[in-house]
Structure 1
Amino acid sequence: MDKKSVLRILPFALFMGFIGIEEGVRFLRDHGLLSLTDRDLLFLYPIKAGLVGLVLILLAKSYDEIRLRDFARVGHTAISIISGLGIFLLWINMDWGFATLGDPQGFNPDAIADDGMRTFMVATRLAGAVLVVPVMEELFWRSFLLRYVIDSDFSKIDIGRFTWPSFLIITVLFGLEHNYYLAGMMAGAAFNALLYHTRSIAQCILSHAVANLALGIYVLQSGQWRFW
């Protein structure tokens, strides 16, 4: 695997690796091999988001497909924002039981008694969801894997090139990454479509960030922690 591939896989793999660690810790705890509470596990998120964010910053110069000048195209930027809000609205209405993997518990800040620590954890969660996850995921799914499915030498494939196999494969896999898998497939299809229209990873990151920010605000206002 070449360097360009590794650089786009690494942040995503690190993030998913932490999720694996969390599940492993829960398994050990549930079998009496560790004495930890769900509250203790909450503190893994700041470490996860912080490390992945640091990796993205250190490797930022390698991601030349993220072009901030793309935001100067006002029409595309407006579509990105509107699509992000639309994805959010659909997401919170697609939490059907048959479309859910497992039993999502989400992040409930009420489990943290200390006000200062609770504020820190909420801020960390929002920052991770808005500033880290969209960059990490769009680099992996839309920049790397969507093109890799077309050709293993993905860098020679133009950003936003459409093929049915790549569209369908990434839509399904992106959905299966989430507990609400049908909502995830909807979002994956929407982000793919946005990429085909704008030819911009930056616009996909913006749309993803808007969707996650809207979801975060909704969760904090409604207490629907399962969406977090």
Structure 2
Amino acid sequence: MIDTLHSALPRALRLTLLFAAELVLVMLAFQLFASLECRATSVEGACRALRGVGLRGVSLLVLLAVYFWAVRAAWQEFLRLAAARSGGTRWVALHVAGLMLIILPMALVPDHALNPLFHRILPLMVLGGGMAALGGLFWLAGPRDWQQWLRPRLVPVLALVLLAALLPNLAEAIGPIWYWETLTQITFAGVALMLALVADVPVVDPAAQIIGTNGFLVAVADSCSGVEGFVLVSAFLALYAVLFRDRLRLTRFWLCVWPVALLLSWLFNVIRITLLIMIGAYASPDLAVNGFHSFAGWLFFMLLAMAVLLVVDRIAWLRRVPGRDAPAVPLAEDALAARILPFVLFMVAGVLAQSFWADPILAYPWQALIMALSLWCFRVPLRAYLCRPSALALGAGVLVGLLWVKSAPSSYSPNTDALQSLSQAGLILWIAARCLGTTLLVPVIEELFFRSYLQARLTQGLTGPLGRPLAVLLAIAVSVGCFALLHDRWLMAAVAGVIFAALYHRRGRLADAVAAHMVANLIIAIAAASTGDWALI
């Protein structure tokens, strides 16, 4: 049986599966069976960072699987690369030695001494992880072979590495946005219902959100609501939509597949919590508690996302063009991607600012740089939108800008505490980035997404079943509602959104909506700079 499997699977796939299994087993061993508690060590930050490395590694493997799925030429070249020759036995030895350095502490250090001695064990584990990763990489293929394979596809691979590195941080940062009491209550009710079906005497306290059976009780907190699963599933669906954009009916994909995937993610989370309660009640309380705080949930959410994508790939109703060939249009020249991806990067930049800066307002120059680079990457398809805006659009922009400034509440005090920490040169740089980003970059990115993509797509998709007038009204309402949710002053933002949407609908020219948005933001930026009230923007 082993010989048959060995001959059936390509060498690259066999080794990749081996590395994935090693990574998962090491993660689960330390999280479920070792008494390591980062809070009890003297290097808590480093301990948590090390624990996150495994999760990011698994995320990268799954993201690469989706990439190979879409770009078949890259996968075939990868198979040929690994089948031709390996890097040599010295890399195998390096990989095995690295694994030994990782697992030896758990085997040799007593449980009670693991936390006090972890600051001494940590360097060995970091060294072992580096050796195992480097040895495994060059066990697959030699350095020159990797260089040849990466040269034509360096940008997408680096983008996937960056996404894998940031995915846990994104889930943590976005989580509070999706935490709301109703979701936690629904999750609690789902667990209670499922526990009633499998447990003899379930204990349920809805007021305190405590649930359990047989003496094992847990509190269903906001972090148990399933938000992390939502983030993971959404991230993989988004990557799939980008890579398969020429073959998917994207409106059907997002309106039908995404809600179903989120529902399955929530249901899976309910089942996970129920199983952990049963394990704690009838098998091992310690194992169950560790399970609640382990990355096992992440692993299963990734598997769920892949299962959803496998099903989607087989549904002809969601496909626009039959076949599995790679997209004919390069990503940087794709008009649809130009309307969506700059907005995605704009949102990601905001999340990163909230995650890595104590005062997120100070991160704006970096956010502006990300926005500028995203628009520069799509400069080819964006040229189609260049035209002279109408006088009506410019006048509408003046009206929106004045209304925004005049309607600002008096309590809208300037946030200058963080800015006062900047040097004079730093403050000048920040003001320049803020004004240029607000006036030139944000209007283009937001109008590309909300008007040229969301409003236009909804109008096109709803015209058939609803008729043109109702489709237009509904498309404007949805795009304006989403636009308003991005702003603290949502009512005034909705008024501005209606004006921009009407300008776009009037002649079907995005330049009118962008010009009005730019003029409005220019007036607001001038008012903010003259008063120092940057909260206006």
TM-score bracket, shorter-length normalisation: 0.7 to 0.9
CA-based RMSD: 2.8
Deviations 1:178-215 (A, max 9, x none): 11100110110010111122321112111111111110
Whichever structure has more helix as a proportion of its residues is 2
**Structure 2 CA distance for partners of 1:219 and 1:141, relative to 1, 3 Å:** same
Paired residue total: 199
Hey, what does 2:492 align to over in structure 1? 183
2:398, 2:519 within 8 Å by CA — same for their partners in 1? yes
* Contact 2:349-2:370 at 8 Å conserved across structures: no
Q: What does residue range 45-64 of structure 1 map to in structure 2 within 5 Å?
A: 45-64=364-383
The aligned counterpart of 1:9 is: 340
Tell me the residue number matched to 2:146: none
Deviations 1:89-138 (A, max 9, x none): 111233459xxxxx997577842442221111101111111111111111
CA distance in structure 1 between the partners assigned to 2:413 and 2:496 by the alignment: 18
CA distance 1:152–1:54, change in 2 (3 Å): farther
| 1:66 corresponding residue in structure 2 | 385
- CA 108–183 in structure 1, closer or farther in 2 if over 3 Å, else same: farther
Matched-pair contact (CA < 8 Å) for 2:454–2:479 = yes
Paired position in structure 2 for 1:209: 518
Inter-CA distance 108–171: structure 2 relative to 1 (3 Å threshold)? farther
Q: CA deviation at 1:9?
A: 1.0
Q: Is the Cα–Cα contact under 8 Å of residues 365 and 429 in structure 2 kept in the other structure?
A: no
Instruction: Find the partner of 1:79 among 392, 398, 405.
Output: 392
- What is the alpha-carbon distance in structure 2 between the residues aligned to residue 175 and residue 95 of structure 1? 15
- What amino acid is the match of 1:183? M
Aligned residue runs from structure 1 range 9-158, under 5 A: 9-25=340-356, 37-38=358-359, 41-68=360-387, 70-71=388-389, 76=390, 78-95=391-408, 110-151=419-460
Distance 1:148 1:173 in 2: 14
**Counterpart of 2:337 in structure 1: which amino acid?**
V
Please tell me whether the aligned partners of residues 84 and 210 of structure 1 are also in contact (alpha carbons under 8 angstroms): yes
> Which protein is bigger by CA-based radius of gyration?
2
Unaligned runs of 5+ in 2: 1-240, 247-334, 463-470
Unaligned runs of 5+ in 1: 26-35, 98-102, 154-161
What's the % identity of the aligned pairs? 26
Q: Which residue identity is paired with 2:451? A: R
Q: CA deviation at 1:65?
A: 4.2
- Checking the alignment, whether the CA contact within 8 Å between 1:131 and 1:209 is kept in structure 2 is yes
Tell me which amino acid in the other structure corresponds to 1:88.
Answer: G
**Contact 2:414–2:533, Cα closer than 8 Å, also in 1:** no
One-letter code aligned to 2:526 = I
Which residue is equivalent to 1:31?
A: none
Q: Secondary structure at the match of 2:353?
A: helix
**In 1, Cα distance between equivalents of 2:446 and 2:453:** 10
| Counterpart secondary structure, 2:406 | coil
Determine helix, strand or coil for the equivalent of 1:163. helix
Distance 1:105 1:17 in 2: 25
Residue 30 of structure 1: aligned partner: none
- Bigger RCO of structures 1 and 2 (CA < 8 A, at least 6 apart): 1
1:55/1:130 CA distance change after superposition, 3 Å: same
Aligned-partner Cα distance in 2 for 1:80–1:55: 25
Is the contact between residue 451 and residue 501 of structure 2 (CA under 8 Å) also seen in structure 1?
yes
Shift of residue 37, structure 1, vs aligned partner = 4.2
